[in-house]
């Protein structure tokens, strides 16, 4: 057993860290305030090969795995969680299922474009009445000749505004029981009848795009099916096993930023004639934050390692996601408390970190859903 990153992972971590510190650090607050990510950032991500990190080399990607993606996402999210989630969704919720479940023709058509970031990907599962209970989705895809015709509404679509292609989960068999009548279908955003809603005004990760997407008589060829007909729910769940590792990595990055900000502030801020870092009350907070971050990272690495070995990691990714996202919120709360009133203003980044951390316990399966998944694993 070896807890050190190997040479390849160390190189990719250093590359991601340099990118985050040189390109994102000065922009993170701007991204939050303007509610979009600068296009220069996307271009730099193309230059560095980040969009294609987990796409196989034969389709133009870097051919790396979930461990590499986790390492990169921790570094990016430590500095800008909006950029972090954009990349996480692109790689783990769109690139990964295409690579794993799609036909060779789809792979050849889309993976090279996804690898360069020419096209950004999105994942359309959630609907107004199907959130945690994803299998209740109502968007329909009826077969008409050689096409699927899709009708319905998806919400909270990350990358909705910026994407060029989306994986849409739709009901293809109304008679089958909930989860058994769903298929995964690839839909280019420029298809007639696809309408992207206005950007959501969010509490945090404001630089990332989140929108509603409406499908009105949207016609795509049946060959755009990803995975088996009526086998889409398993594609969705398997994909989320990977996506949740991404959000757990995001959580570790945000938590680390909180610890770093709180440590720095506590050494600078003096009260009662001494830096507040000299008080045990502050030291205990820093100790708890640091320990939870370390434990979260180990859970993330274990889940990513299993997934890279092509082993089922449903329970492990849910554990990593639950614990790491709780850690991010714990650390954000403690960091803000250490900053006192100053942390409640936008003069310090902990105010943004506090807002960014909150979503990690909600998207890609709320903490409550992770508990369902973990408990099912324990009881099985």
Rounded CA separation 108/78 (Å): 34
Q: Is 343 in the site for ligand CAA (CB under 6 A)?
A: no
Share of the chain residues as helix, strand and coil, in percent rounded to the nearest 5: 60, 15, 25
Tell me: does residue 238 bind ligand CAA (CB under 6 A): yes
End-to-end CA distance of the chain: 28
The answer to the question of residue 314 lying near ligand CAA (CB under 6 A) is: yes
Establish if 240 lies at the interface with ligand CAA (CB under 6 A): yes
Q: C-alpha angle 47/51/55, rounded to 5°?
A: 120
Write the binding mask 155 to 174 for ligand CAA: x where contact by CB under 6 A, - elsewhere.
-xxx----------------
Give me the 100-139 binding string for ligand CAA, x by CB under 6 A, dash otherwise: -----------------------x-xx-----xxxx----
Single out the segment in contact with ligand CAA by CB under 6 A; choices: 13-21, 105-113, 236-244, 322-330: 236-244
Q: Smaller CB distance to ligand CAA: residue 233 or 265?
A: 233
What is each CA distance from 286 to 7, 266, 268, 336, 355, in whole angstroms? 30, 10, 15, 12, 20
The answer to whether 89 contacts ligand CAA (rule: CB under 6 A) is yes
212 noted as active-site residue: no
Which residues are CB-neighbours of 30 under 8 A, at least 6 positions away? 38
Q: Which of 75, 212, 351, 364 is catalytic?
A: 364
**Tokens 């990690």 correspond to what residue?**
360
SS3 219: strand
Reading the block at residue 92, the tokens are 């783990």
CA distance 100 to 345: 45
Radius of gyration of the chain (CA): 21
Stretch that binds ligand CAA, among 220-228, 231-239, 258-266, 289-297 (CB under 6 A): 231-239
Find the binder of ligand CAA among 55, 137, 218, 373 (CB under 6 A).
373
Nearer to ligand CAA, 82 or 126 (CB): 126
Taking CB under 6 A as the rule, does residue 37 contact ligand CAA?
no
- Interface ranges with ligand CAA (CB under 6 A): 89, 123, 125-126, 132-135, 156-158, 179, 233-234, 237-238, 240-241, 314, 363-365, 369, 372-373
Catalytic residues: 364
């Amino acid at each position: 057993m070896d807890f050190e990153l190997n040479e390849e992972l160390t190189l990719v971590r250093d590359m991601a860290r340099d990118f985050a510190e040189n390109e994102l650090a000065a922009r993170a607050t701007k991204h939050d305030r303007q509610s979009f990510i600068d296009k220069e950032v996307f271009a730099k991500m193309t230059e560095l090969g980040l969009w294609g990190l987990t796409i196989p080399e034969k389709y133009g990607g870097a051919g790396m795995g979930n461990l590499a993606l986790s390492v990169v996402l921790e570094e990016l999210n430590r500095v800008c969680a909006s950029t972090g989630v954009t990349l996480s969704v692109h790689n783990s919720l769109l690139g990964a299922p295409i690579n794993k479940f799609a036909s060779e023709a789809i792979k050849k058509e889309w993976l090279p474009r996804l690898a360069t970031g020419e096209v950004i990907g999105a994942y359309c599962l959630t609907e107004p009445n199907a959130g945690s209970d994803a299998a209740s989705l109502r968007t329909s895809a009826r077969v008409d000749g050689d096409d699927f015709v899709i009708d319905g509404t998806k919400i909270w679509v990350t990358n909705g505004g910026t994407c060029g292609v989306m994986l849409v989960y739709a009901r293809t068999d109304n008679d089958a029981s909930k989860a058994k009548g769903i298929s995964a279908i690839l839909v280019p955003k420029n298809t007639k009848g696809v309408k992207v809603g206005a950007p959501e005004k969010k509490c945090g990760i404001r630089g990332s795009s989140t929108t509603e997407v409406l499908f009105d008589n949207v016609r795509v060829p049946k060959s755009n099916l990803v995975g088996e007909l009526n086998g889409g729910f398993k594609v969705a769940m398997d994909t989320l096993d990977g996506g949740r590792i991404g959000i757990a990595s995001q959580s570790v990055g945000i938590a680390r930023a909180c610890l770093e900000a709180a440590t720095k502030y506590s050494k600078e801020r003096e009260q009662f004639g001494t830096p507040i870092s000299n008080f045990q009350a502050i030291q205990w907070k820093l100790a708890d934050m640091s320990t939870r971050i370390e434990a979260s990272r180990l859970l993330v690495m274990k889940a990513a390692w299993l997934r890279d070995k092509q082993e089922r990691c449903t329970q492990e990714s849910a554990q990593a996601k639950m614990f790491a996202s709780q850690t991010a919120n714990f650390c954000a709360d403690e960091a803000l408390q250490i900053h006192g009133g100053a942390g409640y203003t936008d003069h310090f980044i902990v105010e943004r970190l506090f807002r960014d951390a909150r979503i990690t316990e909600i998207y890609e399966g709320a903490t409550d859903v992770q508990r369902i998944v973990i408990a099912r694993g324990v009881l099985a």
